[in-house]
Amino acid sequence: MTAEANDQFYSSLPAANSPSRRPWPVVGMVNILAALVLLTLYFAFPIVTSQWSNLGRLLFGGLMVIVSLLGIFQVWEWVNPAGSEALAPRWASLSRHRISVPREGITYLIIMIVMFMGALLGHSNMLMLVFAMMAGPFVVNGWVTFGALRGAVLKRTIPPRAMVGEQFGAEIEFHNNRSWIASWMMVAKDTILHPQEKLEASVLFTRIGPMKSQSAYYQLNLAKRGKYRFGPIRLSSQFPLGLIERALIVDIPGEVLIHPRIGRLSPRWKKAVDGAAELVMQPVSKAGHFDDEFHHLRDYRAGDNPRAIHWRSSAKRTSLVVREYQPNREHSLLLILDLWRPSNGNSQDDQLVETALSLGATIAREHVRDCRDSELRILVMGAKTEVWHGPASMAGLEEVLDRLALATAGHLPDVIAPVQQQLQDSSAATRGVLVSTRGGGTDRSAASRIGDLPRHSRMQRILVDERTVPDLLSFE
Summarize pLDDT for 32-61 with one digit per residue, the tens.
887 887 788 777 777 777 777 787 778 778
pLDDT band at 23 (very low <50, low <70, confident <90, very high): low
- Contact yes or no for 445/342 (Cβ under 8 A): no
Residues 6 or more apart in contact with residue 49 via CB below 8 angstroms: 42, 43, 57
pLDDT tens digits along 144-181: 998 899 889 999 999 999 999 999 999 999 999 999 99
Domain boundaries, the chain: 3-11+151-259, 26-149, 293-326, 331-474
Domain 3-11+151-259 CATH superfamily: Immunoglobulins (2.60.40.10)
The reported pLDDT for the residue numbered 287 is: 40
Cβ density class 264-283: b for 16+ within 10 Å, e for less: ebeeebeebbeebbeebeee
Q: Where are the beta strands (DSSP E) in 238-292?
A: 245-250, 254-259, 264-265
Nearest to 419 by CA among 391, 387, 441: 387
Of 55-64, 135-144, 442-451, which range is least confident? 442-451
> Residue 279 carries which DSSP code?
T
- Cα–Cα distances in Å, from 38 out to 125, 192, 223? 20, 41, 50
| Residues 85-100, mean pLDDT to the nearest whole number | 57
- Contact yes or no for 366/451 (Cβ under 8 A): no
In this model, does residue 353 exceed pLDDT 50? yes
**More confidently predicted of 32 and 443:** 32
In this model, does residue 293 exceed pLDDT 80? no
The reported pLDDT for the residue numbered 275 is: 55
The reported pLDDT for the residue numbered 330 is: 60
| Residues 253-275, mean pLDDT to the nearest whole number | 81
The reported pLDDT for the residue numbered 385 is: 87
Cβ density class 299-331: b for 16+ within 10 Å, e for less: eeeeeeeeebebeeebeeeeeebbbbbeebbbb
Amino acid at the residue 235:
L
pTM, two decimal places:
0.72
The reported pLDDT for the residue numbered 125 is: 84
Residues 6 or more apart in contact with residue 133 via CB below 8 angstroms: none
In this model, does residue 83 exceed pLDDT 60? no
Mean pLDDT across the chain:
78
As a whole-number percent, the residues of the chain with pLDDT over 70 amount to 79
Query: Which range among 96-100, 258-262, 303-307 has the greatest average pLDDT?
Result: 258-262
C-alpha–C-alpha distance, residues 376 and 337, integer Å = 13
The reported pLDDT for the residue numbered 26 is: 67
Let me know if the fold of 3-11+151-259 is the same as that of 331-474. Answer: no
Alpha helices in 266-379 (DSSP H): 267-278, 311-317, 347-370
In this model, does residue 64 exceed pLDDT 50? yes
pLDDT band at 319 (very low <50, low <70, confident <90, very high): confident
CATH (residue range 331-474)? 3.40.50.410
Nearest to 138 by CA among 243, 67, 31: 243
The reported pLDDT for the residue numbered 266 is: 81
